Structure 1
Amino acid sequence: MAVELKGSCHCGAVRFSLQSSSAVPYQLCLCSICRKVGGVGGSINLGGFYETSNIEKGKEFISVYKAVLNRDTPEESIASSERNFCSKCSAMLWLYDKSWPELVHPFASAIDSPLKTPETLVCILNNSKPEHVHLPEGAKEVYDKYGKESLESWHKKNGLWVE
């Protein structure tokens, strides 16, 4: 049975829950979007099932940001993904993309439930990280682009997938 995750924003205006089979915060994204909207260094997304998402409090305080891709270039466009955040305190809550309507990706930083600590952190999009941003200490795999595994395959490979 999947794990229930409970989360909230910093000010407490928004509270939510969802079910997850991939709830180990192992992958730190260092892209400019995650660094600038997620805060220090980047952000870590977990996996969840959209149909189990429940906004328990504060739906009226949820706003959406659709990131600008390739900013200031001829390829500039708007992302299909929606980063949901609290309009009162600006805490990032979850990412949803209609390309994968069955999934939702809560930001680990918004989760209040206890989470397992991975033995090794996977850092992705290192080629987007400026020199002044430092990687966390500890064991890590660093990729200029994306890692070898999806959220699901990484959890399954490491025996951490919860049916």
Structure 2
Amino acid sequence: MRRLCGSCHCGAVVFEFETTAPVPFMRCYCSICRKTAGGGGYAINILGTAASLRISRGAEAVQSYRAVKDKSLPKAEQTLCQDRFFCPTCASYLWAHSDDWPQWIYPYASAVDSELPPPASAACIMLDHAPAWADPRHTSTGGAELFGEYPPFSLEQWHRDHDAAV
């Protein structure tokens, strides 16, 4: 288990969490990640244990946005998915959490201040939802694995398969 620290850009929120899966290897191109935190057309989440999350500064300030899974559906058919937590002062996204997996949080790698190990390989997921300008299928992938939707493995499984779990 490894303890990582993170913060927002303005420093109003500081947090820490524990993880066994610290390698930022998976780039998500879904519209939620892309529009809420993905300046490069994607966001990179890592895996943390929800029970270990400690907010040492700014807990009262943290806000959340509950994303809609498929906004193209009529409003009555839309389902909510992950909560995205952010700093309302500087708008930095910090972590995501899903009711489907209450034991986990998904901190944005860009919010983590601790040194993260570089990935041996990358996985680009949800490419069926990526705009052409951000889709790595149209550019050099550098050996990344490409998936139209979710891959057939979890963040945790990838770390085990690549001997990257701590």
Structure 1 residues 1-163: aligned runs within 5 Å: 2-40=1-39, 41-74=41-74, 76-135=77-136, 138-162=142-166
Residues 78-137 of structure 1: CA deviation (Å, up to 9, x unaligned): 424211011111111001122222111111110000001112110001010111225375
Q: Distance in 1 between matches of 2:111 and 2:79?
A: 24
Question: Relative to structure 2, which stretch is displaced further, 70-79 or 118-127?
Answer: 70-79
Structure 1 alignment gaps of length 5 or more: none
Structure 2 alignment gaps of length 5 or more: none
Aligned residues: 161
Contact (CA 8 Å) 1:14, 1:62: kept in 2 or not?
yes
TM-score (norm 1): 0.92
Q: Distance in 2 between matches of 1:85 and 1:161?
A: 27
Contact (CA 8 Å) 1:63, 1:84: kept in 2 or not?
yes
Cα 1:12–1:78 shift into 2, 3 Å: farther
- Supply the RMSD in Å over aligned alpha carbons: 1.5
One-letter amino acid of the counterpart of residue 147, structure 1: P
| Superposition deviation, residue 147 in structure 1 | 1.5
Contact (CA 8 Å) 1:16, 1:53: kept in 2 or not?
yes
Determine helix, strand or coil for the equivalent of 1:61: coil
Contact (CA 8 Å) 1:7, 1:110: kept in 2 or not?
yes
Question: Relative to structure 2, which stretch is displaced further, 97-106 or 124-133?
Answer: 97-106
| Superposition deviation, residue 161 in structure 1 | 1.2
Residues 5-28 of structure 1: CA deviation (Å, up to 9, x unaligned): 100001111000010001100000
Q: Distance in 2 between matches of 1:159 and 1:14?
A: 32
State the percentage of identical aligned residues: 37
Contact (CA 8 Å) 1:66, 1:78: kept in 2 or not?
no
Contact (CA 8 Å) 1:10, 1:91: kept in 2 or not?
yes
